[in-house]
Amino acid sequence: MLSRTLPTQVADHIRERILSGELAPGERIIETDLAAEFEVSRHTLRSALQTLTHEGLLEQSQFKSTHVTRPTADDVFEIYTLRNALEAMACRLAAQRAGDTTGMDAAVTRMRNAAQAGDTPAMKVADFDFHTAVIELAGHTRLREHYRALHAQTRLYLNLTATVGYELDEIAAKHAELADAIRTGDAARAEQLGGGHNTADGERLVALLTAPAPQG
């Protein structure tokens, strides 16, 4: 199936299955099946699984079985608060630098179109691309590196928040407002909006994950 048997290629394929929901949280990874499907050695597959474990998308049990990570309330809290901190800084720097906002603006347009069409998958992609564009606008190498380390977990977080009160019109409007602040050079406003726009979704998701399971 793969033209080359590099662990990075295998990791890319499995990562997309996790982030698309094809491999659900808690689902067990059967090494023999995947090695056969991708026509790679068990060693290559295990290297790929180690990469995804490091990214937080997989976890290994004490019995050495591997499962897709099932995020906890603590995981969600840490991801959205860390994103808030990084994005507040990125938005302030982006507004101060007054660079080319073409990529950011294109993402806002796609978000508006997705909201109009009721297209949640397209909204999630545009949402992620918006923040990637802002990080690039910030022009801060180490900030970019730290944000990239959260790449997979951020996409997973967006998938989760899209299941809890993900109002498409509201999401598009919120990002359009943030884009306006960056484009007009209002650094203080951009920092405020960037540092808090994940909070409401994060709190809703944390509340859902901490709620007691229904009885009966």
**Whether residues 135 and 58 fall in one domain:** no
Query: Residue 104 belongs to what domain range?
Result: 73-210
Q: Which residues face 68 on adjacent strands?
A: 58
Q: Where residue 2 falls among pLDDT bands split at 50, 70, 90?
A: very low
End-to-end CA distance of the chain: 46
**Whether residues 79 and 175 fall in one domain:** yes
State the chain's mean pLDDT as an integer. 89
**Whether residues 15 and 98 fall in one domain:** no
Q: Which residues face 60 on adjacent strands?
A: 66
What is the DSSP code string of 89-138?
Answer: HHHHHHHHHT---HHHHHHHHHHHHHHHHT-HHHHHHHHHHHHHHHHHHH
Contact (CB, 8 A) for 19 and 159: yes
CATH code for position 22: 1.10.10.10
pLDDT one-digit tens code per residue, 82-138: 999 999 999 999 999 988 999 999 999 999 999 999 998 899 899 989 999 999 999
Query: How many structural domains compose the chain?
Result: 2
- 215 within some domain: no
CA angle 88, 164, 127 (to 5 degrees): 45
**End position of a domain, from candidates 43, 68, 93:** 68
CA distance 136 to 182: 13
pLDDT one-digit tens code per residue, 68-97: 988 889 988 998 999 999 999 999 999 999
Residue 193: strand, helix, or coil: helix
- 216 within some domain: no
**End position of a domain, from candidates 52, 68, 84:** 68
Sheet holding 58-60, edge to edge: 28-29, 66-68, 58-60
Question: pTM here?
Answer: 0.83
**Whether residues 174 and 85 fall in one domain:** yes
Q: Kindly tell me if the per-residue pLDDT of 5 is higher than 60.
A: no
**Whether residues 109 and 90 fall in one domain:** yes
The residue count for the chain = 216
Q: Kindly tell me if the per-residue pLDDT of 64 is higher than 80.
A: no
Q: Where residue 201 falls among pLDDT bands split at 50, 70, 90?
A: confident
